[in-house]
Amino acid sequence: MVRVSSTIFIIVTSVILVVANEEINLRVKRQEEDPEGPDVGSIEELCHDRPADEYFRLTTEGDCRDVVRCDNAGENGITRLATVRCPIGLAFDVTRQTCDWKSNVKNCDQLGKPRKVLPILKTDEPVCPEGRLSCGNGECVEKELFCNGKPDCKDESDENACTVDLDPNRAPECDPTQCILPDCFCSADGTRIPGNIEPQQVPQMITITFNGAVNVDNIDLYEDIFNGQRQNPNGCQIKGTFFVSHKYTNYSAVQDLHRRGHEISVFSLTHKDEPNYWTHGTYDDWLAEMAGARLIIERFANITDGSIIGMRAPYLRVGGNKQFEMMADQFFVYDASITASLGRVPIWPYTLYFRMPHKCNGNAHNCPSRSHPVWEMVMNELDRRDDPTFDESLPGCHMIDSCSNVQTGEQFGRLLRHNFNRHYNTNRAPLGLHFHASWLKSKKEYRDELNKFIEEMLGRNDVFFVTMLQVIQWMQNPTELNALRDFQEWKEKCDVKGQPYCSLPNACPLTTRELPGETLRLFTCMECPNNYPWILDPTGDGFSVK
């Protein structure tokens, strides 16, 4: 048998390592030639029917750190094995497809993920009567029962091909004759400007967003950026969007952000640091987490105007159709968790009545496949190349702190301006700048650079720092730059002055049976509840005893 040449095993690849709270992008070193590697014939066999993004082991001996995947992108159509090694102390979990602490990995004795039986969806001649589709074992089952979250085929294959591209009941592709503003917006590749306005007449909207708890660690940062002096070209103060998680949040500070016209949105109640909890969350999990978080904010930040209409999934782990079904039932208007990979032209937000117009690249591939009456405020990846004229192929990044190559204020400034120009000089899709406050606070030069960028942008007359809701309002009523001064939707809470509702919030020391042994402080202008609000008891009134 022919031995593969040494180059075949040399490949650089990366794997996401999930440890504690952080997703660390690990670059794995080049693996040198593996003299014991399998030969071409057995590679073909190993890779038959195996997805190119699935990692598996060649052996169960050793320390459980090494895995490979099939790479079909090689020259001459030869399939090669790309290798990855977890850092010392970690092991590769083939079920979850990630490196983790060795003690957490229970499948070192398995070579790969258990194979799932797939339904037979593509056949030259129909194999089932009309309205039915074939399971993997040839059984015919009603089409509606495929991908409904419950196995109906005896081999359960009806639940195994449910991605945006495969779900037999997926939303249809964008039909511009059916999808009409103000309620529906879509375009074939996602890049079209609403209202077919000429790019030169489109305001360049920038959405600054923050994820996480609002508290003493970051209130000063928000005061600094949104200092009340900075105004958009229409004379109104610049605005931001806050995706608030519950634990450690100071609700009197949230109340004041809302008073000053910023948008409050939800980032879940528990922010549980287990990414798969979100990816595989049930309808009830999403309901308790997101509707529960909204209830807490409304009550303890006294937000009574129904303005909390958006959400972002922790770790951007979108929960597929379940999440969006819950959103529609609970009147959430938008999600802001789906990422679009870096392309030549950025994507405008879209509604999900029709199929999403780009690949589901991150988000653990669990994007919604069905039709939902929900806006997707898509996160366009940023181009982080330090010198964009020099074409090194670095993938884009969605949160600014995941642009890990940015280390200095100067680099951050270049990132902001380069990506601004990418949006401004093409279709002027809203530019999202998504932050964790801790990153901006980690170096003074980052904060200075952001402030400098904002001032510079406000020196023009066609750039607006707006909230997610304001983006939707503009898209629903696309208005050219020269008429924007009088655009009423953007005049609300235009120039807010005055003092917070309360100068001395209650600092309620609270416990809950759900978090035994923890005493947490809840800061609010409202009355203290009996218990610390948590997932089974979001009002803090106590468990209802039935």
Interface with ligand NAG by CB under 6 A: which residues? 215-216, 219, 250, 252-253, 256, 302, 304, 500-501, 505, 523, 525-526
- Round to whole Å and give the CA distance between 211 and 314: 9
Question: Please, how many CA atoms are within 13 Å of residue 329, restricted to the half-sphere of its CB?
Answer: 13
Nearest CB to ligand NAG, comparing residues 110 and 506: 506
List 100's β-bridge partners, or say none: 91
Whether the Cβ atoms of residue 523 and residue 253 lie closer than 8 Å to each other: yes
Give the residue with the Cβ less far from ligand NAG, 171 or 510.
Answer: 510
- Calculate helix-pair angle for 444-458, 409-424, nearest 10 degrees: 30
Which C-beta is closer to ligand NAG: that of 20 or that of 504?
A: 504
Q: How far is the CB of 294 from ligand NAG (least distance, A)?
A: 16
Identity of the residue, 148 or 215, whose beta carbon is nearer to ligand NAG in the bound complex: 215
- Taking the C-alpha atoms of residue 163 and residue 318, their distance in angstroms, rounded to an integer, is 13
Tell me the H-state helices in 210-330.
219-225, 251-259, 275-279, 283-286, 292-300, 320-329
CB of 234 to ligand NAG, least distance (A): 26
Identity at 354, one-letter amino acid code: F
Q: Which residue number, 10 or 219, has a Cβ lying nearer to ligand NAG?
A: 219
Between CA 15 and CA 86 the distance in angstroms is: 8
Q: How far is the CB of 519 from ligand NAG (least distance, A)?
A: 15
C-alpha–C-alpha distance, residues 296 and 538, integer Å: 6
Per DSSP, the residues of 21-59 read TEEEEEEPPPPPP-TT---HHHHHHHHTT--TT--B-S-
Question: By C-alpha distance, which of 492, 501, 343, 478 is closest to 423?
Answer: 343
Identify any residues that bridge with 22 across adjacent strands, giving them in sequence order.
19
C-beta of 523: minimal distance to ligand NAG in Å? 5
Query: Do 344 and 396 form a contact (C-beta atoms < 8 A)?
Result: no
For residues 256 and 325, which CB has a smaller minimum distance to ligand NAG in the complex? 256
> Shortest approach of ligand NAG to residue 321 CB, angstroms?
36
State the nearest-atom distance from the C-beta of 518 to ligand NAG, in Å: 17
Write down the least CB distance from residue 492 to ligand NAG, Å.
15
Radius of gyration for the alpha carbons in the chain, expressed in angstroms and rounded: 25
Which residue number, 388 or 500, has a Cβ lying nearer to ligand NAG?
A: 500
> CB 297 → ligand NAG: shortest distance, Å?
13
- Classify 413 as helix, strand or coil: helix
3-state secondary structure of 284: helix
CB of 245 to ligand NAG, least distance (A): 16
Check if the beta carbon of residue 213 is closer than 8 Å to that of residue 251.
no
Question: In the complex, what is the shortest distance from the CB of residue 435 to ligand NAG, in angstroms, rounded to a whole number?
Answer: 19
Residue 424 or residue 523: which is nearer to ligand NAG going by CB? 523
Helices and strands in the chain: count of H runs, count of E runs: 11, 21
Instruction: In angstroms, give the least distance from the CB of 247 to ligand NAG.
Output: 14
Q: Which is nearer to ligand NAG, 240 or 320 (CB)?
A: 240
Q: Is the C-alpha dihedral spanning 494, 495, 501, 505 positive or negative?
A: positive
Q: Are 171 and 320 in contact (CB under 8 A)?
A: no
Q: Is 313 exposed, middle or buried (0-12, 13-18, 19+ CB in 10 A)?
A: buried
Q: Which CB sits closer to ligand NAG, 214 or 382?
A: 214
The smaller minimum CB distance to ligand NAG, of residues 222 and 278, is found at 222
